[in-house]
Amino acid sequence: MYKALSARDLSKACAAAQKAVVYSPKNSNLHMQLGFLKYASGDKALALDEFSQARALRPDQFVTRWQEELNSPPFKSMHDDNEFLRKLFPPDGLPAAPAAQGNGPGQ
């Protein structure tokens, strides 16, 4: 997936990410990656679906992980896509502040 993305081959990167999600459907990071790849390839509806799955699996880390990935060059255009951001973070398109991370169970 990362090799294909580095080579700017979005279709190959998406295919690899989709395959990874099939093998590890409860991995929120894979859903996050696939969401970004689907967005970059123009499939915003599927991107929203993948982001929703990532959020459902790890709600405590979703915003932090999303913001980290958003700064990657292939995904920076999402910063200016207000319509998409309002769907991802209703009602105003602004993500809530990330939850404080502690050393509790599962950390």
Q: What is the pLDDT of residues 11-70, one digit of tens each?
A: 888 899 999 999 999 999 999 999 999 999 999 999 999 999 999 999 999 999 999 999
Given pLDDT bands bounded at 50, 70 and 90, which one contains residue 99? low
Tokens of 25: 């459907």
Q: How far apart are CA 61 and CA 98, in angstroms?
A: 7
Ordered by start, the domain boundaries in the chain are 2-88
Q: Please say if the pLDDT value at position 101 is more than 90.
A: no
Model pLDDT, residue 13: 87
pTM for the whole thing? 0.81
> What's the rounded mean pLDDT across residues 82-91?
94
Assign 96 to helix, strand or coil: coil
The alpha-helical segments, DSSP class H, found in 1-107 are 2-6, 10-23, 28-40, 44-57, 62-70, 82-88
CATH 1.25.40.10 holds for 2-88: yes
Check: CB of residue 30 under 8 Å from CB of residue 21: yes
